[in-house]
Amino acid sequence: MNILFNILIALGCVISGYLLGSANISIPLGKLIFKQDPRDYGSHNCGATNCGRLWGKKYFFIVFFFDVFKTIASLYICWAVLTFIPFQNGHGLMPEVYAMHRGGTEVADYLVKWPVYWCACVGAVLGNIFPLFIKFKGGKAASTYLGITITTSWGFLVIGIITYFTTLFKSRYVSLSSIICGVCNALVSWVWAILLLTKVIPDNLVCMLNWAPILYCNYVYAIMMTILVAIMVYRHHENIG
């Protein structure tokens, strides 16, 4: 019963992330201001990069930050609902980071003992690529991936900035830079997850790479990042070719 409940919670996070991720600003923006649908031009998607090529840097940043916002909104809404709403015995369904890391008796009374909120990010990326409200034809997920990296961990952000701009400086390809950045961050997330799993990291440093001690970047985060990077690489197969 508990396993089934955890699966349902995970699916709920994916669905909520997908619905928020399906929200789009580039198409109404293009039709309202330029009388254009970005999917009819350039790379034929409604992502920030294509919008920037069509309408300029200003609109690149508008679309990019909207995609970032909807991604982190789905993540933090799921985290807050599961952590703070008193579903049982006066506490939430999911323990806080340090209790989750220590495990044992500290999480015994909770129904959800793992950071299930990361599933919302997968849903948000799928919503960005296959948006429900615009006939399942969206972007390439680079901005949503970057949004997760930027807003959850300063450590992964630094690694991402170094790899992204180094690759961009060497190659002049935005798509290649996004792919290299994603692959490097996914690899580092697995190294960090293994360190947490083996209890090498002291409790007071568990959230060392995060902006705040509220999100747990363990193996679930590493799995989520790997899935997102794989999706992003697949979506850039034309650029790779």
Per residue in 194-237, pLDDT (tens digit) is: 998 888 888 777 878 887 778 888 899 999 999 988 888 887 66
pLDDT, tens digit (0-9, with 9 covering 90-100), for 120-168: 999 998 998 888 877 777 777 777 777 788 778 888 888 888 988 888 8
- pTM of whole model > 0.75? yes
Sign of CA dihedral 105, 110, 112, 117: negative
Give residue-wise pLDDT tens across range 78-99.
Answer: 998 988 888 777 778 888 888 8
Angle at 239 between CA 190 and CA 24, to 5 degrees: 80
**Stretch 7-31: mean pLDDT:** 90
